[in-house]
Structure 1
């Protein structure tokens, strides 16, 4: 019944038997609401060849996301030189990092950033220039705030910029500066309380 009602209500240009494409037919027959405008492109129609991108953590040296998705060709040269195997393809074949699963080792010479011939990654000279993601701390699950449990300052010991990016004060959750933090994820892996520290895309 719904299909019959839709056909009876179809636009005049279709009822006049004008030649329309398959895309135009469905757009006029079943008009879709205009999607909300966000920072990332939204897939509206398969024929548009548009791609919807979720925010990702990109390898060290990555240019701005809107430029990255145009420059990265998925050659995997950055992944080949990563000793940790931390660089993997996203669902579009472009380089990404899930540092909550496999941290970046923050290599001193940052070889991945210098391996890209397409301009998706800019060469970095030193590890302190790395800025993969933004750290988020959830104090409610931090062992330092839980009576009777001691983590042995695991996050501090794991941080490559300990006492700079990450500081510990008595009776407080880790104090991590996103201005200094590399977003490497080493503290995430070291933390004995899963979910207390996470890295999100910048």
Structure 2
């Protein structure tokens, strides 16, 4: 090693010994987050209808939804905080929270369990004009409209109760009923 390079290196060592560290003491000292920070995904599980749209639109596949068990889970290590899940959620129960997740030594999955509540299904009233807009807007293709026979059918196993059909009906002839 040349003597000039050694002196540069020694000078840097001496500066580092007397200066304050550049890094922060996270997680022991809370950080100041910038305005543009994405943060991490949070869910209001009580509002979730398990429509699986968030999981279908998650590029790395970090979100899993089990409709039968009523669970919503996220693998924080795989999540890239892109916000696709937030944009497609019909109930707006997902949001971005500023801050980092707590560091961990193992890769784990956070599981949220939805509270059990009565299922609501859409039902068309008599003044339906069978336009088919509700069927086109349904994310699960649970509605079938036949204009020639004036028939409106719902597949209750596929319906997630997202109310998008009700919101798009131009005649406001769809209502949600409990079963």
TM score, norm. by length of structure 1 = 0.32
Between structure 1 and structure 2, the one with the greater Rg is 2
Structure with greater helix share of residues: 1
Structure with greater strand share of residues: 2
TM score, norm. by length of structure 2 = 0.36
